[in-house]
């Protein structure tokens, strides 16, 4: 019998909350990055789970039931078959979720659901099809799979731009092979950041307490009008199951890259080529930084856009006097308070476009011109 497993979020190293500025500096200079995003007395890891009218009215049980009935015919189970190179040579199957997005048989899911698969099987209704992967976006964990039929109705794609914490949401997926499972909850938070791959974060994630579990990967997060506002992608939990902290990729991100995914083009992102750390008022006070917010430039990658613009990062010889370090506080005059804000702001511009970074160095601000590069595939 084939081994089956449910798709989990990429396992990252132990999440850490820096409790003191000296410890922070020591870790930064020894190579720890800004990708550490949380803390607990118990190590907690992100686990990859296998335009709309705002909803301010709490849906009743009947409303959830109606939304479910309308949406579930468009939800599918995605099984990714991998060749097992162990002694028994039996293939393994990863199980996730997807949903119909157009009238051409195209299905949205997570990249990690289908990554490395030799065969992708899509079960929807009573039918099973062999899917073809059209395109993937590994950095933002998105993928589109096509099946050879046009008979299924697409879900309505909404927007996450006008969401508010406390609004009601519904998740549908296939946790633990329990197909078409529906759960409900609220939006717990917005603009969350979690690690992606390399020196990058996934930003502006939707946080929800709607129970999401392994196998929900790639399934829709719906608003009270039945529109897709996000794609469920990960949870934070000390166990391999939900404790009410789940995250979804805003559907707007899929809509932005959909033309590239459908055409099989590589999704490219603008890049400045630094490793940075978010400055807080406490950190700024401790190290006498010139601003209580922004991004401290820790490392400048060789031959990257920032290096070509003249940024140098922190050298170990400078570590005793961070007050003279480079601190980015704005992009084209727009203030950036954190690494996630800097990444999000940079993504609004085009590769090859000139921008101006407001950078404090030796406590003096200057506007430094920089030509945006392309985020390298191997980062």
Q: Which residues are catalytic?
A: 112, 141, 217
What's the token pair of residue 17? 């909350």
Within 8 A by CB and 6+ apart from 262, the residues are: 106, 134, 135, 144
In the block, residue with structure tokens 């939800």: 75
> In terms of Cα–Cα distance, which of 219, 225, 5, 278 is closest to 117?
5
DSSP assignment of 269-301 equals -EE--EEEEE--HHHHHHHT-SSSSSEEEEEE-
Longest CA pairwise span in the chain (Å): 67
User: In the chain, what is the straight-line distance between the N-terminal and C-terminal CA atoms, in Å?
Assistant: 38
Round to whole Å and give the CA distance between 54 and 302: 45
Length of the chain: 379
Round to whole Å and give the CA distance between 166 and 185: 9
Round to whole Å and give the CA distance between 28 and 316: 10
Residue 36 contacts residue 15 (beta carbons within 8 Å):
yes
DSSP assignment of 20-72 equals SHHHHHHHHHTT--TT-----SS--EEEE---PPP--S---HHHHHHHHHHHG
Cα–Cα–Cα angle for 65, 67, 73, rounded to 5 degrees = 100
Round to whole Å and give the CA distance between 243 and 361: 44
Within 8 A by CB and 6+ apart from 238, the residues are: 40, 42, 43, 44, 45
């Amino acid at each position: 019998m084939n081994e089956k497993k449910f798709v989990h979020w990429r396992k990252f190293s132990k999440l850490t909350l820096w409790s003191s500025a000296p410890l922070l500096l020591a870790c930064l200079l020894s190579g720890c990055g800004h990708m550490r995003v949380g803390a607990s007395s118990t190590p907690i890891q992100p686990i990859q789970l296998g335009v709309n009218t705002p909803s301010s009215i709490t849906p009743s049980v009947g409303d959830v039931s109606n939304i479910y009935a309308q949406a579930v015919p468009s939800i599918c189970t995605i099984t990714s078959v991998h060749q097992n190179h162990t002694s028994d040579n039996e293939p393994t199957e990863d199980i996730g979720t997807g949903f119909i997005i157009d009238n051409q048989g195209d299905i949205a899911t997570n990249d990690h659901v289908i990554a490395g698969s030799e065969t992708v099987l899509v079960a929807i209704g009573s039918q099973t099809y062999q899917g073809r992967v059209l395109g993937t976006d590994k950095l933002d964990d998105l993928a589109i799979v096509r099946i050879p039929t046009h008979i299924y109705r697409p879900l309505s794609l909404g927007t996450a731009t006008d969401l508010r914490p406390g609004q009601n949401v519904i998740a549908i997926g296939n946790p633990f092979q329990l197909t078409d499972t529906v759960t409900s909850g609220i939006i717990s938070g917005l603009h969350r950041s979690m690690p992606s791959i390399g020196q990058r974060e996934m930003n502006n994630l939707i946080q929800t307490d709607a129970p999401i579990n392994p196998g929900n990967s790639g399934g829709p997060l719906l608003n009270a009008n039945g529109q897709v506002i996000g794609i469920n992608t990960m949870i934070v939990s000390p166990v391999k199951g939900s404790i009410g902290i789940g995250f979804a990729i805003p559907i707007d991100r899929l809509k932005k890259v959909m033309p590239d995914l459908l055409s099989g083009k590589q999704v490219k992102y603008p890049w400045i080529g630094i490793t940075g750390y978010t400055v807080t008022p406490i950190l700024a006070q401790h190290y006498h930084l010139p601003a209580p917010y922004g991004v401290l430039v820790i490392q400048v990658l060789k031959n990257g856009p920032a290096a070509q613009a003249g940024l140098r990062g922190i050298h170990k010889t400078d570590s005793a006097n961070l007050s003279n370090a480079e601190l980015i506080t704005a992009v084209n005059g727009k203030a950036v308070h954190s690494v996630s804000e800097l990444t999000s702001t940079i993504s609004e511009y085009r590769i090859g476009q000139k921008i101006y970074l407001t950078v404090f160095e030796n406590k003096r601000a200057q506007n430094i011109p920089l030509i945006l590069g392309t985020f390298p595939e191997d980062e």
